[in-house]
């Protein structure tokens, strides 16, 4: 899975520190974690490596303080209250993707498309938050809805003049590439390389 269009981030929730270390020595230097506690343990165990750490899971505001200065990129900025806490604890600007909910599933995190303008307005004075792009998650087992979502994300990123689009996982990365993904978050497929 080589692509020069997009950066491939290994979604490493499935992997132990030792497996991450193996992947690192095969050339994977970007890892994305979903859980704060697991990530902090892996960071500690792998602190001799130059890993770029992405946080790609739902982030609870009460966990921000303990991890926000450890990560390099946040993919899941999804509400004003989270932005507010990041602004409080982060020491230097954090590159962030805004997570957008484009599949209209209520249980899924993300800002609704019609609330994006308001969200940009809410965070405009936060100098610790640097919006670099938009992120979305496709709909499980629904390639049509997933492709619609990826196409919308691409359009929205253009509308807001944002360079990056974080979308595409093991089952839908080809659709994501078709719609100009720049950051793929790939988990299970890496099992083939371990």
Residues in contact with ligand PLP by the rule CB under 6 A: 11, 13, 34, 56-57, 137, 169-171, 185-189
**Are 60 and 30 a contacting pair, CB within 8 Å?**
no
Among residues 147, 57, 63, 149, the alpha carbon closest in space to that of 103 is found at 149
Quote the least distance from Cβ 60 to ligand PLP, whole Å.
15
Alpha-carbon span 28 to 26, nearest angstrom: 6
Find the residue with minimal CB distance to ligand PLP.
187
In the complex, minimum distance from the CB of residue 48 to ligand PLP, in angstroms, rounded to a whole number: 25
Cα separation, 53 vs 181, in Å, equals 19
In the chain, the N- to C-terminal Cα span, in Å, equals 14
> Tokens representing 93?
């600007």
Strands 129-135, 111-112: parallel, antiparallel or unpaired by DSSP?
unpaired
Query: CB of residue 94 vs ligand PLP: minimum separation in angstroms?
Result: 18
Closest approach, Cβ 121 to ligand PLP, in A, equals 26
For residues 56 and 129, which CB has a smaller minimum distance to ligand PLP in the complex?
56
For ligand PLP, the closer CB: 7 or 189: 189
Closer residue to ligand PLP in complex, CB, 128/189: 189
């Amino acid at each position: 899975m080589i692509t020069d269009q997009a950066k491939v981030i290994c979604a490493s929730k499935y992997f132990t520190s030792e497996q991450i270390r193996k992947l690192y020595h095969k050339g994977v230097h970007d890892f994305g974690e979903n859980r704060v506690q697991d990530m902090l343990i892996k960071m500690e165990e792998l602190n001799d490596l130059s890993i770029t750490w992405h946080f790609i899971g739902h982030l609870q505001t009460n966990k921000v303080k303990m991890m926000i200065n450890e990560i390099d990129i946040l993919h899941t900025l999804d509400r004003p209250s989270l932005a507010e806490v990041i602004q409080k604890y982060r020491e230097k600007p954090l590159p962030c993707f805004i997570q957008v909910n484009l599949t209209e599933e209520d249980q899924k995190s993300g800002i609704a498309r019609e609330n994006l303008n308001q969200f940009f307005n809410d965070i405009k004075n936060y100098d610790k938050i640097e919006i670099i792009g938009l992120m979305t998650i496709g709909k499980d087992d629904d390639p049509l809805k997933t492709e619609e979502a990826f196409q919308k994300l691409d359009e929205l990123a253009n509308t807001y003049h944002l360079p990056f689009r974080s979308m595409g996982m093991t089952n839908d990365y080809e659709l994501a590439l078709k719609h100009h993904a720049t950051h793929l978050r790939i988990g299970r497929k890496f099992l083939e390389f371990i």
